[in-house]
Amino acid sequence: MSAVDLATILHPAIAVFYVFPLIGVVVYFAWQTRQRRLQDKENKGKISPTVGPQHLQVGKWLSASVVGIALLGMAQPIVKKLLIEPGNWDANAGRFVLIVLYFIVTIASLVLLYRARSLPWRAVFATLTGMGLIIIGFQKFQAGDGNLYDLVFRRDFEWQISHYYYGMVAAFLMIFSLAIVPDIYRDRSLTWRKVHIVLNCLALLFFIGQGVTGARDLLEIPLSWQKPAIEQLYINNCQTQPCEVRPVEQPPADAGQSQ
Ligand code: HEM
Ligand code: HEM
């Protein structure tokens, strides 16, 4: 397998062997935390009082991991298109430096979100982290034909089943969970706790969506030695019928300036 192919499976591999098992641990402790809180006094001793703090501890790892895996998923095509594919560097060197800065600011905002205590700072750093993810996802580069194309494949033509948009929602929900931790503990009316439960059950659905759409995208990306033949098949397909099937990383035939 070539270096480019290995780089392609880096993100899915880390998601599968690290992030998804972590989701399992977080959900296990979440369920235990809820069961313990809802148990009557007699049965309370059966579940350890540490399940809440343990859920929080692994949850904190999960938030960073999901933001990290989303950044890695976007770094891959950016590095591939600007550094590995020949001919793109000269026209895009300035863009590349700017994008590296966006990555640094996003990671720094996440680190500061972990440290922030007061509500305004938590809101500021959570917003900055989320904005960083979106801004990176919408970066473009100038190709050899002089047109601007997207660096990150967002599947805008089928946004309802897009790995990018699902990933963004999941990452935002993790960032939000992190930002409201002090409120969950402080709020006696349990409102923040309920908000947390509802939003993170939704996050679970998006994680499942990431598993499905990620596996699909992996099927659509050919191994490097198969790429020329597969691209030709897509070109033939678009010439004989409306181009409904489009490959990952391949600008649609009617994309114009948008891809
Ligand atoms: C898939 C992700 C997650 C799910 C499904 C989930 C679900 C839950 C559930 C069901 C509870 C128990 C609520 C109750 O008492 O009834 C809970 C508590 C809590 N969660 Fe999460 N959660 C997730 C991720 C996170 C993350 C990422 C964080 C923070 C970084 C977090 C922080 C907390 C905190 C602080 C509590 C209160 C724990 C305690 O009572 O000691 N959760 N969560
Ligand atoms: C929490 C889990 C995950 C998150 C937040 C996430 C996020 C992302 C993001 C933001 C991108 C860049 C946009 C795109 O190309 O669609 C991406 C790319 C990708 N993801 Fe994921 N992903 C996750 C899990 C997975 C899994 C489980 C797989 C496969 C089994 C996978 C396979 C891929 C592939 C093949 C790409 C394209 C990479 C490339 O262009 O080189 N992802 N992911």
The per-residue pLDDT for range 16-63, each reduced to its tens digit, is 999 999 999 999 999 999 999 998 777 777 899 999 999 999 999 999
81 and 151 Cβ atoms separated by less than 8 Å:
yes
The best mutation among 1, 81, 139, 217 to test binding of ligand 2, ranked by most ligand atoms within 8 Å of the C-beta, falls on 217
Q: What integer best gives the mean pLDDT of the chain?
A: 91
Ligand 1 site residues, Cβ closer than 6 angstroms: 23, 26-27, 30, 33-34, 37, 52-53, 55-56, 59-60, 62-63, 174, 177-178, 181, 184, 193, 196-197, 200-201, 203-204
Q: Provide the token pair at 49.
A: 């009082």
Closest-approaching ligand to the CA atom of 65: 2
Q: Is the pTM of this model over 0.85?
A: yes
For residues 236 and 124, which has the higher predicted lDDT (pLDDT)? Answer: 124
Region 182-188: mean pLDDT is 94
pLDDT at residue number 84: 87
Rounded Cα distance, 201 and 193, in Å: 12
SS3 55: helix
The best mutation among 61, 195, 200 to test binding of ligand 1, ranked by most ligand atoms within 8 Å of the C-beta, falls on 200
pLDDT at residue number 247: 53
Residue 256 above 60 pLDDT? Answer: no
Region 107-113: mean pLDDT is 98
- The DSSP code sequence of 113-132 is HHH--SHHHHHHHHHHHHHH
pLDDT by residue (tens digit) across 123-148? 999 999 999 999 999 999 998 888 89
Q: Which value, to the nearest 10 degrees, does the dihedral of the CA atoms of residues 202, 205, 206, 207 take? A: 120
Take atom 21 of ligand 1 and give the residue whose Cα is closest: 30
